Amino acid sequence: MIVAERKPFEEIAEASAGFRRVLVAGCGTCVAVCLTGGEKEAGILAAQLDIAAQLNQREQAFEVGCVERQCDREFLDELAPQIEQADAVLSLACGAGIQFLAEKFPEVPVLAGVNTTFIGINDDVGVWQEKCRSCRDCVLTLTGGICPMSLCPKGMLNGPCGGSDDGKCETDPERDCAWALISARLERTGRLGGLEAIVPARDCRNALPGKQVHPAYERRYSAHE
Amino acid sequence: MSKLAQALDGGKFVLTVELDPPRGSDLKPLTELTSSLGGKADALVISDNRGAVARMSPVLACHHLIKHASAEVIMTLACRDRNRLALASEMLAAAAGGVENLLVVSGDFTTLGDQPGAQPVFDLDSVQTLQLAASLEEAAFFLGAVLAPDSTLMGMQALKLRKKVQAGAAFFITKPISNGEGLGALLAQAGGEAPRVLAGLELGPEEDPAWAVELARELKAQGQAAGVHLSCPENQARLPELAGQLAL
């Protein structure tokens, strides 16, 4: 899932101060699961903004809306009636959702209410951990299901750096060294031998903006159609 | 062939000394320190933004020391600050400036330095950077890399050693050690032909070097290392005196 954290309240209040009617738009999927931008959080934020506006004697009205996914065309359309009545939309979706909302509603100013943090997992109640950098060149088969691109700050592909100390990373004594985890995991599963070959440099052309078309739909979206 | 390679080939117990380029633009103190080291060291390792703290480029510092102090230098090149274009560019500049020995390191992570918000590059890792250096036809470097003998990940460090040798590393400098046990165990685990290793001996600003001298003698007597690499990062003015004691 995509994980996000709410921006500091002061930043949100300042960004929205110049608009009379603001739609606080939640998203019911990833950001709802990480307790950041779902319908409930949108409601709370709208109430807080309303109080702040009154305290600062600003004439503002905050309405709440929420759709299942702001990154999906058919769900996003549901916001249209509310957006028509708004001077600005404060989106609590991830960066993808905020951008898609901005693209679909080009006339209305869009404000970001969250910082998208990472693709990760729900480790425990209220705890999320980064697991994937979506690098488009997955090495998890080789590295025992533990990602060195995401979990090693240096993204080392050929083994640990010299800063690995007692299973911990040089950047933080609390942070596990990804290669210590990889080593232990591959040893347990008898697959350490797979690491002997040098992993070549990554092809960073995959840093260009991505677009993906499912093979079954290639004809539909090809230039000839 | 570089003088360092010749010394190692000739079986000399080599001493290298680590020096930082200046934090400013004045090269005079570094040149004077190099002169006062005289012939005590077989080569000077010129660091590259050590500790992720910005200093003068080692390319220029090395070029200057070669030209004005006739120094034998080992230029450090860190993967942290440059993508593969910039690494190749620096290698070519170094070669043009007379640098023959290159030490490839990953580099201390950016958050440990004085610009913690800097973009950490690590486009290539140390193994891939060695491959890049070895592939440059225009620059035939005597290539070195780093070993971490006291790591608890001995198997992984041995793997990395094998990969570095395969990628073209002809000598190694260890991270600071206090005894020869870890190095012996690492080399045994790595297997294959024993590489030429300079044992890293790091001294504190006022530390008595007796233990380091004793360890160097021990490593030499037992043939565990091809030499030692001396550093005193917090008090580099001491290096000429310390090098005098460690030149065996």
In chain B, residues with a C-beta closer than 8 Å to the C-beta of A164 are: 148, 151-153, 156
**Contacts A187 to B, Cβ<8 Å:** 155
Q: Is residue A145 part of a domain?
A: yes
Same domain, A88 and A150: no
CB contact A162 to B (< 8 Å): yes
CB contact under 8 A, A187 and B108: no
pLDDT reported for residue A180: 98
pLDDT of the residue at B194:
84
Residue A36, domain CATH? 3.40.50
**A18 occurs within a structural domain:** yes
Torsion of CA B59, B62, B68, B73, to 10 degrees: -160
List pLDDT tens digits, range B208-229: 999 999 999 999 999 999 999 9
Q: Do A44 and A79 sit in the same domain of this protein? A: yes
Query: A189 with A89, same domain?
Result: no
A184, pLDDT greater than 60: yes
Tell whether the model's pLDDT for residue A38 goes beyond 60.
Answer: yes
Q: What is the pLDDT of residue B46?
A: 98
φ and ψ at B227, to 5 degrees?
165, -175
What mean pLDDT comes out for the span B3-26?
97
pLDDT(A225) > 70: no
Domain count, chain B: 1
Whether residue A155 is found in the same domain as residue A179: yes
With 0.80 as the threshold, say if the pTM is over it: yes
Predicted local distance difference test score (pLDDT) of residue B192: 85
Where is the domain boundary, A90, A118, A146?
A118
> Considering chain A, what is the average pLDDT of its residues?
96
**List of chain A residues whose C-beta atoms are within 8 Å of the C-beta of residue B122:** 154-156
pLDDT at A23 over 70: yes
Residue A43 has pLDDT above 80, yes or no: yes
Residues of chain B with C-beta less than 8 angstroms from the C-beta of A155: 122, 125
**Within this chain, do residues A87 and A142 fall inside the same structural domain, yes or no?**
no
Residues A162, B112: C-beta atoms closer than 8 Å: no
- On whether both A10 and A110 belong to a single domain, the answer is yes
Domain stop point among A95, A118, A141: A118
- Gap between the Cα atoms of B198 and A194, Å rounded: 30
Minimal Cβ distance to B120: which of A154, A160, A200: A154
Q: Which residue from B153, B95, B104 is spatially nearest to B124, judged by alpha carbons?
A: B104
Q: For position A224, what pLDDT does the model report?
A: 59
Please report, for residues A86, B2, B212, B225, B246, the alpha-carbon distance to residue B222 in angstroms, rounded to integers and kept in the order given: 80, 26, 15, 8, 16
When CB atoms are compared, the residue of B122, B153, B175 closest to A155 is: B122
> Do the Cβ atoms of A159 and B175 come within 8 Å?
no
Three-state secondary-structure class, residue B217: helix
Contacts of A171 in chain B (CB under 8 A): 109, 111-112
User: What CATH number does the domain containing B127 carry?
Assistant: 3.20.20.220
Collapse the DSSP code of B172 into the 3-class scheme (helix H, G, I; strand E, B; otherwise coil) and give the result: strand
Give the residue carrying structure tokens 């491959």: B131
The number of distinct structural domains making up chain A is 2
Residue B2 has pLDDT above 80, yes or no: yes
Indicate the residue of B148, B155, B162 with minimum beta-carbon distance to A183: B155
Q: Are residues A7 and A99 in the same domain?
A: yes
Residue A209 counted as domain residue: no
Mutate which: A165, A187, A198, vs B, most B CBs within 10 A: A198
β-strands B14-19, B227-231 pairing: parallel
Round to whole Å and give the CA distance between B237 and B34. Answer: 10
A114 and A138 share a domain? no
Compute the average pLDDT of residues B183-211: 95
Asked if A164 is an interface residue toward chain B (Cβ–Cβ < 8 A), one would say yes
Question: Contact B234/B204 with Cβ under 8 angstroms?
Answer: yes
Q: Which residue of A has its CA nearest to B122?
A: A154
Residue type, A119: I
The interface predicted TM-score of the complex, written ipTM, equals 0.94
A163/B contact by beta carbon, under 8 A: yes
Check CB contact under 8 Å for B153 and A164. Answer: yes
Q: Which domain holds residue A182?
A: 133-197
CB contact under 8 A, A170 and B157: no
- The parent domain of residue B60 ranges over 3-246
Q: How far is B152 from chain A (nearest CA, A)?
A: 5
Per-residue model confidence as pLDDT tens digits over A112-170: 999 999 999 999 999 999 999 999 999 999 999 999 999 999 999 999 999 999 999 99
Asked if residue A155 lies in contact with residue A148, where contact means CB atoms within 8 angstroms, the answer is yes
Q: What is the pLDDT of residue A151?
A: 98
- Residue A159 falls within a domain, yes or no? yes
Which residues from B are below 8 Å from A183, CB to CB? Answer: 153, 155-156
Among B79, B120, B151, whose Cβ lies nearest the Cβ of A153? B120
Please provide the DSSP assignment of chain A as one string: -EEEEEPPHHHHHHHHTT-SEEEEEEESSHHHHTTSSSHHHHHHHHHHHHHHHHHTT---EEEEEEES-TTSHHHHGGGHHHHHT-SEEEE-S-HHHHHHHHHH-TTS-EEE-EEEEEEEEEEETTEEEEEE---SS--TTTTTT--HHHHSTT--SSS--TT-BTTEETTEEEEEPHHHHHHHHHHHTT-GGGG-SPPPPP-GGGGSPP----GGGHHHHSTT-
Do B127 and A163 count as a contact with CB atoms less than 8 A apart?
no
In tens, the pLDDT along B30-68 reads: 999 999 998 899 999 999 999 999 999 999 999 999 999
Q: Is residue A110 domain-shared with residue A142, that is, in the same domain?
A: no
Average pLDDT on A48-56 reads: 98
pLDDT over 90, % of chain A: 96
Helix H or strand E encompassing B85:
helix B84-96
Tell whether A87 is covered by a domain: yes
A95 and A142 fall within a common domain: no
For residues A19 and A102, membership in a common domain is answered with: yes
Which of A66, A91, A118 is a domain's end point? A118
DSSP B123-169: SS-HHHHHHHHHH-TT---EEEEEE-TT-S-HHHHHHHHHHHHHHT-
Q: Which of A162, A171, A198 sits opposite B166 (nearest CB)?
A: A198
Q: How confident is the model at residue A207 (pLDDT cuts 50, 70, 90)?
A: confident
Question: Residue B239 is encoded by which pair of tokens?
Answer: 């290096």
Residue A89 CA to residue A23 CA, distance in Å, equals 5
What is the total residue count of chain A?
225
From CA B217, how far away is CA B209, in angstroms rounded?
12
